Amino acid sequence: MAGLVEKGLTRLGNELDTAKRLEAEAAFAAGHPDFAELKQSGRLTAIRRDNPLLDEVGAYFAAMLEREREAVAARLEEAASAAEKRTLESLRSRRLAATLGQGQGAVPDRGGDPELSEPGRFGGMNTVLARRLAARRAAAGN
């Protein structure tokens, strides 16, 4: 008789635990609308199969963490491509500015050089250019 009572109490305890667990799960699902969706899709079962230490709530949070990681990875990828685009655009504009300005290969500004703005006063254009060429050759050591 004691064994029968023991079995009955054990079964009643298990049913009570199951009822409490289902009640807690329903309360959790009410506060987390994605929970029911993930449970129906089988995602929670797959996560629990990969990690048997997790219950359904733990599997839910693991799924949410996975979603968040994917979202962060997508945002990082987007930010990296935007930064790369800005960098390339900056390099292009610098290169264009260097070719348009007074860079190394640019034609000198005649307004600032009196020999080139008024070559007649200095013996003519050919004389001015010949003097400049000789000065450059001397500076280069030729």
Total-model pTM: 0.49
- Each residue's pLDDT expressed in tens, for the chain with a length of 142 residues: 777 767 777 877 778 888 888 888 888 888 888 888 888 888 889 999 999 898 888 899 999 999 999 999 999 999 999 999 999 988 888 776 655 555 555 565 655 778 877 888 888 889 989 998 999 999 888 6
* Nearest in space to 117 (alpha carbons), one of 128, 102, 103: 128
The runs of H, that is alpha helices, within the chain are 2-31, 33-41, 43-50, 56-100, 114-117, 125-140
Tokens representing 74 are 């997508």
Cβ–Cβ under 8 Å, residues 57 and 38:
no
Tokens representing 137 are 């050759």
* Nearest in space to 45 (alpha carbons), one of 58, 36, 56: 56
